[in-house]
Amino acid sequence: MEAVNPYYPIPTKVKKIISETSNVTTITTFILAGMPIKFEAGQFAELTVPGVGEAPFTPSSSPYAKDMKFTIMCVGRVTEALFNLKEGDVVGVRGPFGKPYPLKEFKGKEIYIVGGGVGFAPLRSLFLALVHNIKDYKKIYIRYGARTPKDLVYRNLVPEWQRIDGVDILLTVDVGDESWQGRVGVVTVILDEIPVDIKNSPAIVCGPPLMLKFVTQRLVDAGFKNENIYLSMEKNMSCGVGKCNHCRVGKFYVCKDGPVLTWSDVKDIEEPFL
Ligand SMILES: Cc1cc2nc3c(=O)[nH]c(=O)nc-3n(C[C@H](O)[C@H](O)[C@H](O)COP(=O)(O)OP(=O)(O)OC[C@H]3O[C@@H](n4cnc5c(N)ncnc54)[C@H](O)[C@@H]3O)c2cc1C
Ligand code: FES
């Protein structure tokens, strides 16, 4: 599963670009030469734009798919360059890095997934991996919130996902519009009633730091075990392999020990989400 040299970006070609929202795009890349990059849900890769730089992203595609997809929000230098890619352009991929979700431990359980904004990208990869072996899990719940209906990524895919037997999806937006008939309010409003076996279910959360903080609090209050709350820690990264110290959170290197850590791992760290 590991690239030959973890520091060497493997050239990939951009095959397809889908505009998700005004500042989020999904690119599909395929390896130009050599071995395909195999990843497991939860692992991340560094994307390199020649002449600009590199940044970490978790694939949003299924680990079982041939090509890799990345869903990218334009926030700065590298993401702007990625956002402006055209089909046929070449980007480098290093990885995969970090640890995957422990899917074996999730078997036979109800899985409670909570996403915010573009944080739903890594969760899509997890969701597709779970759906691939859906009989292994009791039920998959997705609770997803974005600022407005126009900021919901993969909105057109949700009806298709909702029809899958064993999948339950609820969406909310902070501010609705005339097209929106669903729930309105920050994501915690759809966590009021949690229809899972709370003591035994994993809850998996990815989103902006403030959302992580409030959702974690809600899940702890509801009775989820600290070790069953899985949080995506988005820290600044550089090497990706535990050498440069850029991504330290307490005793953890997010690139190597994460990027997903449990609440049990980080709860005693001062401001773990900053
Ligand atoms: C493991 C991991 C997985 C990630 N997966 C994804 C993913 O799937 N999709 C995705 O879009 N992003 C993802 N990110 C975040 C992404 O790496 C950053 O957005 C990116 O590094 C920003 O680089 P830049 O050069 O464009 O911005 P910079 O020029 O470095 O920063 C510009 C400004 O944007 C701010 N900024 C940086 N990151 C973010 C952010 N995430 N949200 C809001 N503001 C930010 C900075 O504080 C700064 O003010 C992930 C991060 C990690 C660590
Ligand atoms: S990114 Fe270098 S130690 Fe984690």
Ligand 1 within 6 A of 212 CB?
Answer: no
> In what order do the strands lie in the sheet containing 90-97?
53-57, 44-49, 90-97, 10-21, 24-31, 68-73
The 3-state DSSP class for residue 129 equals: helix
Task: Look at 234 and 76; give whichever has higher pLDDT.
Answer: 76
Nearest to 60 by CA among 47, 46, 78, 42: 42
Task: Look at 274 and 119; give whichever has higher pLDDT.
Answer: 119
Ligand 1 within 6 A of 29 CB?
Answer: no
Q: Percentage of the chain surpassing pLDDT 70? A: 98
pLDDT tens-digit profile of 11-43? 899 999 999 999 999 999 887 776 778 899 999
Ligand 1 within 6 A of 258 CB?
Answer: no
Cα 148 to middle of ligand 1, angstroms:
20
Ligand 1, atom 13: nearest CA belongs to which residue?
Answer: 57
Ligand 1, atom 49: nearest CA belongs to which residue?
Answer: 76
Ligand 1, atom 30: nearest CA belongs to which residue?
Answer: 76
CA pseudo-torsion sign 259, 261, 265, 267: positive
Cα 77 to middle of ligand 1, angstroms:
10
Longest dimension (CA), the chain: 52
Q: Please state the rounded mean pLDDT for residues 67-80.
A: 95
Residues 90 and 32: their CA atoms lie apart, in Å, by: 9
Lowest mean pLDDT segment, chosen from 33-42, 70-79, 198-207: 33-42
Ligand closest to Cα of 257 equals 2
Reported pTM: 0.93
Confidence category of residue 2, pLDDT binned at 50, 70, 90 = very low
Pocket test for ligand 1, best of 57, 151, 233, 239 (most atoms within 8 A of CB): 57
Nearest to 89 by CA among 131, 49, 148, 140: 49
